[in-house]
Structure 1
Amino acid sequence: MSTNTTTTLSNPGKQIRDSIPRTSQGIFKLPKQRPTILQAIQASNAGRVEELIPIRCGRMSTSPFAFYRGNADIMARDLAGLPHTQLQVQAMGDCHLMNFGGFATPERNLIFDANDFDETLPAPWEWDIKRLATSFVLAARHNSMREADARQMAIDVASAYRNAIAEYAQMNTLDLWYMKFDIPGLLNNSKSEKVKTMLKTAIDKAEKSTPEKVLYKITTGVLGNFEIADQHPLVYHTIDLVKQKEMVHHFLESYLNTLQDDRRYLMSQYRIVDLALKVVGVGSVGTRCYVALMMNDKNEPLFMQVKEARNSVLEAYTGKCKYKHNGERVVQGQRLVQAASDIFLGWSTGLENRHYYLRQLRDRKIAPDVEHFDKEVLGAYAGLCGKVLARAHAKTGRGDMISGYMGKADIMDEAIGKFAVAYADQTEKDYADFLKAIKAGKLPAKKE
């Protein structure tokens, strides 16, 4: 065996550097024939609930950071035109720092993981890490940090990812799949008193978030019964359960068939009591998302989120999805990526053949309060998100090849940092064009 072959085998992925140098990952160029921002927003609004589009634009208009979160499709197009290694993983698709957080496992333990999979699809690993790194630059700028610190956040994400995926690529496969980032463990291992204080507060709040507390928070009593309280225009009723009883029955029956037997038995003990449309997030605004209140014979509540699943923004650049149902695409992608998933994850088809996926609502959820993170806390969060993403990619792709390509030096970290700053700059330009379109009356925007 030649020395060159030995080197190649001992460094999986290293040979890819010949065709895609690591420094090239820091270059951003706009693709040819890129649609205008107005055209891109109008295209992404197609099929959404029309009266909610002004709320979507209003939420995106608050800052470049919010605009970025609401437009994964624009970045998907931009990334697809750049050189990449062709190494695929189960990508999140909309991988930004607000799409990570804490939640309870089926064993009722609190863990930290990725938690939004509306755009998930097999895709190049670079797309996730570049989108995540850019989100940290924009968040740092939004929080009025120095430009050098904003760039460092992106480098910290890439460095944590690179070191973690090198470690995970060497792990026993089962150990990697069993691995979880448990939040009490993160608390105990943190060296930052600020981070410890924030985690303690978050854990305490999550432990108190029971279905019963959610019941009294978002419902109102009507003749001894409960129904979800209307809060126009963000929460309101669109379906008459009595008139559309048969449709709802078929929807739930189809959903139950996507669960494994024990979970189907558990869910069958609950009946639907009320259903209301709820406006959520930034990019999701205008897609159909419902809150379902369910009760069992003991009058114990269970809240479910019923969320519309559309084609992934990545699909135009990766090839056709193997799942015919977008709800199934989301669920299967989530199960692949997460260390533990909601036992009620499933999918169904509603009116007009729209695809949906279902999951439990607010199950001890911990959402990061990023807008109040200072440099120390945001830096720690950057490292954690980088590690979580690395585990997801090592589980679902060739972690050894990715690690071999990235190497031990910080060349790739610096390249990702350079790209993230350049793309954050582009996002701010796109945001300015977006505001001009609103001001000119070409896009409707409504402040809440």
Structure 2
Amino acid sequence: MAQDTTNARAKKPSGKGAGRKGNGGKKSGPRKAESASDRQQVHTKRRGEKRAQAYRRLAQRYAEEAAVTLPTVLTGQARREHVRATILEDHAERLEAHAQGTDLKFKELAKDLYKYFRGTALVFYRDIAGTDAALPKVLLLGDVHPGNFGVMPNRDNVPIFSVNDFDEVTYGPFTWDLKRGATGFVLGAKCEGGLKKKKRRKVAACFLQGYIRGLRHFAEHETETHEVIRMDNAPPIIARLFEEAASSRDAWLREKHHDEQRKGFRASDEIEPVSSRRDEFQQHVERLAETNAICKGGRCGDLKVKDVAVRHGAGTASLGLARFYVMLEGPNGDGCDDIIVEFKRARSSALDGIVPTGDLDPGKLADRIAKGQRVHLPNGDAFYGAIEIEGKSFLTRERAPYREDMDLDDLDYDAWREYADACGFSLALAHARSDDAGAIDHDVEPAILKAMEPHDLFVDDVVCFAEEAARRIKKDWKAYKRDWKLGGLSRKALEL
């Protein structure tokens, strides 16, 4: 029975000084009123957390029971509202902060189906929440598609070809990368390549077959700890990408970054110099150098910050997130060999809480991303790391003259197949390192090869998944475009 607490309540003080602090009779200062904006931000954050928790429970229940409805069964208006709510939740922080670039991102996604796919990973992954829990796990790249492979520098400043975007990296079933990747190749071949359905199927199949070929290679030769794809051992289509990426650092800096005196950044629509922050970023660079064991001397010179700029309009999924470019003075001192280091705001992985990871913990924010890069790339970029700026987590990496992605709209059908095969092989190399540099405690290659048997059926299953997912994504995109035109992807819509 509930206890009557009427008489137990403390009586209001009376007499002189009542309601005042024991500070000489002076009243305490007025409490700062909570603004409507503050209350709305708290409300929005709690609502987002509630939805995220619901999907964590859904993923866990599906992994354990395999009998819980996933969002893929939603149709019509219910599906439209689910997709809208998920995209708003994913961009809540950016919308609340009026982050520059958020509206631009929404506009870009409305223009192009393939960009929409790339920029809405959370919708994709919630559709498969908790699935494939019993399959072998690897360190997932998390956002596999044709645009997330390319040429980049390793720690010795030598160009290599590999997976190149680790923002979503986390542990989970190997199939999650293959399903996302196959769907990406179906949509990329459609939107960028203009290929018909039958040819799109074959392109996606080549991606999966390249993956199987890679796993067989590493299971037999066990070279994943040190093997990389360089210009001398790359397939012809990737060798051509190396040739296209070849550029002198002097010309690249002069054309894209330096001002007329080569003393700092040149202002443009994309680059906004903030030279007043040089001293601040000098400290960040010194902390990064200590953490990553980057020594002064050689190509790094004295690690002196020459200039700082805000970078606008970069990326697809990351549009609207803070991003800085930091120019380090090269050893020659004349600008010809300066180094550009990017500081990019990190966020949680779109797979967080919905991918079955078991007890494997990838870490948090930029630290998770940096660790993932070190697992996937042997002897990777020396500047790839994690730094905290004003309480926010930032990923760091070098921008290089020979950092190059494939021009997908230049590929014909045969080139699409060759490129897809090379990307599949590259992904297999990244996955194969999960038990060498990562947290997996058993040999992953034979375990995955066995789980995919019979391999022809596995390839067909994943291709069929990709085609079905692509059709669903196209319907989602059409509803998204309508929502965007009607103001459904705005800060005001977030508050409703």
> Which TM-score bucket, shorter chain as reference?
0.7 to 0.9
Gap regions ≥5 residues in structure 2: 1-62, 436-443, 492-496
Distance 1:106 1:44 in 2: 33
Cα gap change, 1:392 to 1:245, in 2 (>3 Å): closer
SS at match of 1:230: coil
2:138 to 82, 89, 93: 89
1:306 to 343, 351, 360: 343
Shift, 1:110, TM fit: 3.2
Distance 1:433 1:47 in 2: 23
- Tell me whether 142-151 or 417-426 shows the greater mean CA deviation: 142-151
Aligned AA for 1:30?
T
Partner of 2:428: 390
2:234 to 163, 179, 186: 186
SS at match of 1:311: coil
Partner of 1:132: 181
2:255 to 190, 205, 217: 217
Gap regions ≥5 residues in structure 1: 1-19
Distance 1:215 1:433 in 2: 42
Shift, 1:390, TM fit: 1.2
Aligned AA for 1:382?
A
Shift, 1:408, TM fit: 4.8
Distance 1:185 1:370 in 2: 22
Partner of 2:372: 333
Aligned AA for 1:317?
I
Partner of 2:84: 38
Distance 2:138 2:186 in 1: 24
Cα gap change, 1:400 to 1:256, in 2 (>3 Å): same
Shift, 1:84, TM fit: 4.2
Partner of 2:286: 253
2:477 to 431, 435, 441: 431
Relative contact order (C-alpha < 8 Å, sep 6+): which is higher? 1
TM-score, normalised to structure 2, is 0.75
Aligned AA for 1:185?
N
Superposed CA deviations along residues 25-76 of structure 1, whole A, max 9, x for unmatched, are xxx9716797622212211222236231111112212221110111111112
- Tell me whether 178-187 or 87-96 shows the greater mean CA deviation: 178-187
**Cα contact 1:257–1:264 (8 A) shared by 2:** no
Shift, 1:344, TM fit: 1.9
Distance 2:363 2:459 in 1: 37
Q: 2:239 matched to 1:206? A: no
Aligned AA for 2:456?
D
% identity of equivalent residues: 21
SS at match of 2:302: coil
Alignment of 1:34-433 (within 5 A): 36-48=82-94, 50-142=99-191, 143-172=193-222, 175-187=223-235, 190=236, 195=237, 199-200=239-240, 202-208=241-247, 210-221=248-259, 224-232=261-269, 234-237=270-273, 239=274, 241-242=275-276, 244=277, 247-260=280-293, 262=295, 267=300, 269-278=302-311, 279-296=313-330, 298-299=332-333, 300-318=337-355, 322=361, 325-351=364-390, 353-397=391-435, 398-433=444-479
Shift, 1:100, TM fit: 0.3
Distance 1:107 1:81 in 2: 40
Cα gap change, 1:441 to 1:264, in 2 (>3 Å): farther
Distance 2:330 2:411 in 1: 41
Superposed CA deviations along residues 275-329 of structure 1, whole A, max 9, x for unmatched, are 2222211111111121111214632411111111111111122469846552221
Cα gap change, 1:263 to 1:205, in 2 (>3 Å): farther
SS at match of 1:185: coil
Superposed CA deviations along residues 230-258 of structure 1, whole A, max 9, x for unmatched, are 322x3324x4x43x455334322322221
**Cα contact 1:154–1:417 (8 A) shared by 2:** yes
Shift, 1:355, TM fit: 0.7
Cα gap change, 1:409 to 1:53, in 2 (>3 Å): closer
Shift, 1:372, TM fit: 2.1
- Tell me whether 260-269 or 138-147 shows the greater mean CA deviation: 260-269
Cα gap change, 1:256 to 1:340, in 2 (>3 Å): closer
Cα gap change, 1:322 to 1:164, in 2 (>3 Å): closer
**Cα contact 2:285–2:303 (8 A) shared by 1:** no
Partner of 2:21: none
Shift, 1:369, TM fit: 0.4
Cα gap change, 1:249 to 1:102, in 2 (>3 Å): closer
Superposed CA deviations along residues 131-171 of structure 1, whole A, max 9, x for unmatched, are 00001100111122111111121122122212321332233
TM-score, normalised to structure 1, is 0.82
Aligned AA for 1:177?
T
**Cα contact 2:151–2:242 (8 A) shared by 1:** no
Distance 1:431 1:287 in 2: 22
Distance 2:371 2:344 in 1: 15
1:441 to 487, 491, 494: 487
Distance 1:40 1:339 in 2: 35
Distance 1:111 1:415 in 2: 32
Superposed CA deviations along residues 394-448 of structure 1, whole A, max 9, x for unmatched, are 2215121110111254010000110000001111011111101112122369xxx
Distance 2:264 2:327 in 1: 8
- Tell me whether 161-170 or 285-294 shows the greater mean CA deviation: 161-170
**Cα contact 1:169–1:403 (8 A) shared by 2:** no
Cα gap change, 1:251 to 1:110, in 2 (>3 Å): closer
Shift, 1:375, TM fit: 0.7
Aligned AA for 1:310?
R
Cα gap change, 1:186 to 1:36, in 2 (>3 Å): same
Cα gap change, 1:439 to 1:246, in 2 (>3 Å): same
